[in-house]
Structure 1
Amino acid sequence: MNRLLALLLVFGILSGCGSGKKRSPGDRPVTFEDFKAIFPASQTPYRLYADSLLLKQPDSVSVKPDVLKQFLSDTIAGPDTLKNNRLKYFPLAYIAGSNLQYFVIKAVDKGAATAYICFTDKKGRYLGRMTAAKKVPGSPEDMSFTLDSRYTIKVSTEKELSATATALREDFYSVGEDGGVTLVMTNSNGPTSAGQIFNPIDTLPRKHKYSGDYTSGEMNIVSIRDGQDPKSFQFFITFSKDNGGCKGEINGIGHYTGSNKGEYKDKETSCGIAFQFSSGRVSIREVGGCGAYRGIKCFFEGGFAKKKKEE
Structure 2
Amino acid sequence: MINRNGATRSVKTETHLSDGRLRLYRLAAVCLGVLCVLQVTLNISLRLAFYNRGNETVERDQLQTSYNTLTEERDQLQTSYKTLTEERDQLKPIYNILTKERDQLQTRYNTLTKERDQLQISYNTLTKERDQLQISYNTLTKERDQLQISYNTLTKERDQLQMDRDYLTSKFSNLKQTCPEGWQIKLESSWYFLSTETKSWKESRQDCLKRGADLVIINSDLEQEFLLSFNKRAWIGLTDSVTEGAWKWVDGTPLTIPSYWYSQQPDNGGDNPANGEEDCVELNTETWLPVKAWNDQSCLDNRYWICEKVV
User: If each structure's helix is expressed as a fraction of its own residues, which one has the higher value?
Assistant: 2
Larger RCO (CA within 8 A; separation ≥ 6): 2
Where on the TM-score scale, by shorter chain, does this alignment land: which range?
under 0.3
Instruction: Give the TM-score, by structure 1 length.
Output: 0.21
Q: Please say which structure displays the higher CA radius of gyration.
A: 2
Q: TM-score if structure 2 supplies the norm length?
A: 0.21
